[in-house]
Amino acid sequence: MTSEPPSPHSLMQKALSLAQQSPPKPTNYCVGAVLFNPSTNEIISTGYTLELPGNTHAEQCCIQKLAQQHNVPEEKIAEVLPPNVAIYTTMEPCNLRLSGNVTCVDRIIAARNIKRVYLGVKEPEKFVGENEGRKKLEQAGIECVHVPGLEEEILRVATAGHEK
């Protein structure tokens, strides 16, 4: 007997609880992400902003941790990622990194088997202006789905450490 799949809301709630572990900084958003395999109803990786060394984003940590688990370089993550994976992220994945790091949008597209991105809020325009991440993901054939209901809490957590 297979278990009931978790609801998008409960997986976004999990991502939000991860975001709360992110150290607040005035130059980052505290974001949480969950990689989910819908065919097995399993969370296969999680991440949050600054979880790993460097200026790391939540989606980046998710992907890098999974690559480490399978002992492959991040560039080969598609080889170990099950088909039709979804990523739940409290904030729209970044499409521009001022640090020069690879964007989360490009990491998701390169992973090839992430077919759906569930997002809690659009990225505020504070650091890089209008984020074109969702548009770029959709142009790459990746479905983007807004999970409503947690926006206020997501933004409160995301902007911890920012000047009010």
What structural domains does the chain harbor?
A: 8-158 (3.40.140.10)
Answering whether pTM is above 0.85, one says yes
Cβ–Cβ under 8 Å, residues 33 and 18? yes
Q: Any alpha helices (H) in the chain, and if so which ranges?
A: 8-19, 58-69, 104-110, 133-139, 151-158
| pLDDT at 100 exceeding the cut of 90 | no
Cβ–Cβ under 8 Å, residues 94 and 104? yes
Rounded average pLDDT over 53-62: 94
Cβ–Cβ under 8 Å, residues 62 and 46? yes
59 is catalytic: yes
Question: For residue 152, what are the CA distances in angstroms to 17, 91, 121?
Answer: 14, 12, 9
| pLDDT at 2 exceeding the cut of 70 | no
Which residue in 59, 74, 125, 163 is the catalytic one? 59
